[in-house]
């Protein structure tokens, strides 16, 4: 009898010890997101820092590839990746495992920036051919806008001069009357921010057209005709707001009232995006460019990073929704190839999903969901208790807020 009781006590103690260890081994939301960001960035930046991205990156083109120079792949991978992780790399160094990885990525990134504009480098990017470089130059500029002290200011003077020259020569590209206007505007706004010569008309005309294309309730049309896709998040709302911020800071071209209206609109759009996340942590697959994966939530991630979430959205529910969706997507096999580069697909390897302009460098737009990593680990976005997001509340019988359109 005593032996049986003793065995039960030992079993109970073992269970509690196991439970305690299990708790210690649970990966926090931040650890998961930072780990995924490192996994995604490491193959690109570790190779490019040595001028070996072109040599080692496995390129995958859309089955319906439109024939453009496939060298755009490397520029797309680098520019889009950096736009997403720039705020994270701007955090101060520390001795945590995350901090050490972040420092390593920043060191690689600074070397990669130099490789990107050095004509003698094997990884000199496709700046001076075709129109596509305008797009990804804007994402490079966006990375500088988001982390100027960590990513722009440390560059040597020759590299800075080369960037200004490359950005300036892209005025050769006549952007289509669509979200492309904002690629020109973002580059020129960056030049304004560093007191380099800029084209005010490219900024002014883009801002006017985007405002004209506002259709209501937080949505803009992508040109004359409205398309039901995620380009409001991929490009339009974030680049519009960030261009306006620079103009207001420099007291040129735009005013605070314009910026306030744009922020109100992106906050409303962020509300809509949060409601699109299902109770199962999925979201609707509609429109083109769905291979950009979590880039769908660029606008929501930006508002969270800038601490501008509308009062209807708590930090705990937004973090839980984004991380749960990220986990759902990246738990699927096939997102990465054997060398660690992203593969064509949405959740896994689905080449048939790719549009004619898509290569696997394009897919690094998914890194834009990493923007909240720019908030320190001690920030309430990361430390607040996880909460159910709106659809999860609604479909489990919990109270949830009613939804209303905004009026201006």
Annotate 227-292 with DSSP letters as a single string: --SSHIIIIIHHHHHHHHHHHHHHT-S--HHHHHHHHHHHHHHHHHHHHTS-TTS-----SS-GGG
Q: What percent of the chain has pLDDT over 90?
A: 93
Residue 196, number of CB atoms within 10 A of its CB:
16
- The mean of the pLDDT values for the chain is 94
Q: How is domain 30-394 classified at the CATH fold level?
A: Glycosyltransferase (1.50.10)
How many CA within 13 A on the CB side of residue 266? 33
Predicted confidence (pLDDT) at residue 16 exceeds the cutoff of 60: no
Instruction: Please state, in angstroms and rounded to a whole number, the distance separating the CA atoms of residues 38 and 373.
Output: 11
Q: What percent of the chain has pLDDT over 70?
A: 94
* Domain ranges (residues) in the chain: 30-394
Instruction: Please state, in angstroms and rounded to a whole number, the distance separating the CA atoms of residues 347 and 332.
Output: 6
pLDDT-based confidence at residue 26 (cuts at 50, 70, 90): low
Sign of the CA dihedral 389, 392, 398, 402?
Answer: positive
Would you list the DSSP string of 320-350?
HHHHHHHHHHHTSTTSB-TTS-B-SSSSS--
Residue 385, number of CB atoms within 10 A of its CB:
10
Q: What is the pLDDT of residues 341-372, one digit of tens each?
A: 999 999 999 999 999 999 999 999 999 999 99
Diameter over CA atoms, the chain: 89
CA–centroid distance for 364 within its chain: 8
pTM exceeds 0.95 for this model: no
Q: Calculate mean pLDDT across residues 392-405.
A: 97
Instruction: Please state, in angstroms and rounded to a whole number, the distance separating the CA atoms of residues 43 and 319.
Output: 26
Q: Calculate mean pLDDT across residues 222-251.
A: 97
Predicted confidence (pLDDT) at residue 18 exceeds the cutoff of 50: no
Q: Calculate mean pLDDT across residues 256-282.
A: 98
Nearest by Cα to 342 from 323, 358, 355, 320: 358
């Amino acid at each position: 009898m005593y032996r049986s009781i003793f065995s039960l006590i030992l079993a109970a103690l073992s269970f509690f010890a196991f439970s305690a260890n299990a708790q210690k081994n649970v990966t926090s939301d931040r650890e998961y997101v930072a780990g995924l960001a490192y996994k995604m960035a490491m193959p690109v930046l570790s190779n490019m820092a040595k001028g070996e991205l072109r040599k080692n990156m496995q390129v995958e083109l859309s089955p319906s590839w439109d024939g453009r120079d496939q060298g755009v792949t490397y520029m797309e991978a680098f520019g889009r990746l950096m736009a997403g992780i720039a705020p994270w790399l701007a955090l101060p160094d520390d001795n945590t495992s995350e901090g050490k990885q972040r420092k390593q990525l920043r060191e690689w990134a600074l070397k990669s920036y130099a490789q990107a504009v050095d004509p003698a480098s094997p990884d000199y990017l496709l700046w001076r051919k075709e129109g596509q470089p305008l797009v990804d130059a804007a994402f490079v500029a966006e990375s500088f806008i988001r982390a100027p002290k960590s990513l722009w200011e440390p560059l040597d003077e020759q590299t800075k001069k080369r960037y200004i020259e490359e950005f300036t020569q892209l005025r050769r590209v006549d952007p289509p009357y669509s979200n492309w206007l904002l690629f020109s505007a973002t580059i020129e706004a960056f030049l304004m921010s560093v007191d380099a010569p800029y084209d005010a008309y490219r900024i002014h005309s883009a801002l006017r057209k985007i405002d004209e294309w506002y259709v209501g309730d937080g949505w803009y049309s992508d040109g004359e005709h409205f398309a039901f896709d995620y380009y409001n998040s991929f490009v339009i709302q974030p680049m519009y707001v960030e261009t306006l911020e620079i103009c207001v800071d420099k007291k040129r071209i735009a005013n605070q009232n314009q910026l306030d209206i744009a922020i109100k609109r992106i906050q409303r759009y962020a509300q809509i995006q949060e409601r699109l996340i299902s109770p199962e942590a999925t979201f609707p697959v509609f429109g083109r460019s769905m291979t950009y994966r979590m880039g769908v939530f660029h606008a929501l991630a930006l508002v969270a990073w800038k601490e501008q979430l509308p009062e209807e959205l708590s930090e705990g529910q937004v973090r839980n929704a984004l991380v749960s969706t990220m986990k759902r997507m990246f738990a699927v096999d096939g997102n990465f190839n054997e060398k660690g580069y992203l593969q064509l697909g949405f959740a896994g390897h689905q080449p048939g999903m790719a549009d004619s302009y898509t290569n696997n460098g394009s897919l690094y737009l998914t890194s834009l969901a990493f923007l909240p990593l720019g908030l320190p680990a001690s920030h309430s976005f990361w430390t607040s208790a996880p909460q159910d997001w709106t659809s999860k509340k609604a479909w489990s019988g919990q109270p949830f807020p009613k939804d209303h359109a905004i009026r201006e």
